[in-house]
Amino acid sequence: MSLEPIFIIGIISALLLGCGSVGLLMIRFHNPRLLGLGWLGAALGAGGVGALLLLIDPRRVPLVSVLLPDLLVLAAFAFLNLAVMEVVAFQAVPALSLLLLAAQAAADLFVIYGPGSAAFRISVVGVLIAAQTGQTVYLLLRRAAPAVRPPAHATSVVLIGFIAWNLLRSLAIATGLLNDRTLAGRPLAVQVQICTDVIFLVVALVLAFGFFWMTTARLTAMVEDLANTDPLTNVLNRRAFSRAFEQEFNRAQRFSSSFALLMLDIDHFKQVNDRHGHMAGDEVLLAAAHNIKSSTRGIDLIGRWGGEEFVILLPGANAATAQIVGERIRAAIDRPVPLRDPSKHIAFTASLGIAIGQPGDSIDAIFRRADDALYRAKSAGRNCIRIAPAEPPTQRKERVARLPERLSAVQQD
């Protein structure tokens, strides 16, 4: 009679895991972009079949009632590890999973054909599951991209608790702590097994939720990246750069820190398109974006302002730093670019205008000064840099003094 709850929970677990497996696999086949759900469905399927086989008397056909269910349950956690590897884009041969499965097979054969006991078998299963789950937690904590870290960390907390339960249970069984003990009139070992079955089921449901959370967060990040990135050059588009520039501008004004805005225009770009075609023009834009990235600092922001014009924000930079970075960009761009045909190259240059942010400045004023400096660089013969002169103090004071009046007019509108 005491075993009846184990059978009931086992059947319920197998049914729920089986249904979850079918559902996840259908979702994965319908939407291939939902990474990890296919392996997670395989994990639930393996766990469900293993749960059913565990209900068979281990004395009957031990290879089916002992070896196979243990391998399936451990394989379920190996599939879970593969699902996490797919989500975090970590490609590696699952060597640990194969090693653990081999160790489980050896332990079960030792029990079936050797002097190994049921307690030994259960202890080994718990330790190996904990080891496989530990590798999964490591991937979630160390390899997850920033966009999926919140769900990855939340899932890790559940898995760490699951690891602790398996290790404590294995230790209690291996030391005989549960032998001949009762709780509320029932054998303690049976009650621990019931708790273990329930925990396995709850963890499976939490994992399914966690993976949906992670895949949703990943897709959301991809959509946001597409919305903020220029599709050709893979730098910020105009809208995203404007938003980022406004944030840096407000921060600089609040803390009275300096920054520089560089405006870059590729010289005679129309002639490139006319002579070599638009595909060659795209190659030039890609090369320009690549050279700008390789010539700037990690904290700098790069955007495509439109057509052949780029903008670069240098936080914390003064005129001297901006001049150095601008010259590095100009020199990097002034190199022949190979086309798809290796025998053909295009030589092109770029002109740059630089404006330095000032206290009490405005965003429009900074862009206007940078654009004026770029125009002067073009007029000076191109392939050069010009820095916009600082706004005269008197003019800046007059403009700052008019700010409350302009703000009041905007609020009234």
Would you name the residues annotated as active-site residues? 308
Q: Are 312 and 295 in contact (CB under 8 A)?
A: no
Strands 337-338 and 350-356: unpaired
Backbone angles phi, psi at 186, to 5 degrees: -120, 150
Contact partners, residue 20, CB within 8 Å, separation at least 6: 41, 44, 48, 204, 205, 208
What angle, rounded to 10 degrees, do the helices at 238-255 and 363-379 form? 110
Nearest to 13 by CA among 161, 217, 203: 203
Please state, in angstroms and rounded to a whole number, the distance separating the CA atoms of residues 58 and 73. 16
Nearest to 354 by CA among 379, 386, 383, 377: 386
